[in-house]
Amino acid sequence: MSATMKYEMMILLTEEFNDSELKTWAFNYAKALRKLSASEISVISRGKRDLAYMIKNQKKEETLFKSIFQVFQKILKIFLIV
């Protein structure tokens, strides 16, 4: 069995969501990670943030989420290929 690795992601949401939709999005994201056998899942909203630089076709202010989780490296590689 391969070892688990700890990952940290910053996720930029480009759509407008209300608080209820953001909670639902975070819950569904964590549920998807759980299906990949991830553990120690943490999804933290960082709220609306001004970006340090513009991204093509995006607003300057976007919603950020920080995600930390542990998963088997082999499973994550399969997920990223799909």
**Rounded to an integer, what distance in angstroms lies between the CA atom of residue 36 and that of residue 41?**
11
**Rounded to an integer, what distance in angstroms lies between the CA atom of residue 22 and that of residue 65?**
10
Q: What is the pLDDT of residue 54?
A: 75
Q: What is the pLDDT of residue 65?
A: 80
State both tokens at 46.
């960082």
Q: How many residues does the chain have?
A: 82
Structure pTM?
A: 0.72
Region 7-14: what's the mean pLDDT? 82
Cβ-based neighbours of 30, under 8 Å, separated by 6 or more: 41, 43
Q: What is the pLDDT of residue 32?
A: 87
21 phi/psi in degrees, rounded to 5 = -65, -35
Q: What is the domain class of 4-81 according to CATH?
A: alpha beta
pLDDT grade for 82, boundaries at 50, 70 and 90: very low
Residue ranges covered by each domain of the chain: 4-81
Query: Over 60: is that where the pLDDT of 81 sits?
Result: no
- For 22-80, the pLDDT digits (tens) are 889 889 988 988 888 888 988 888 888 877 777 777 666 678 788 888 887 766 666 55
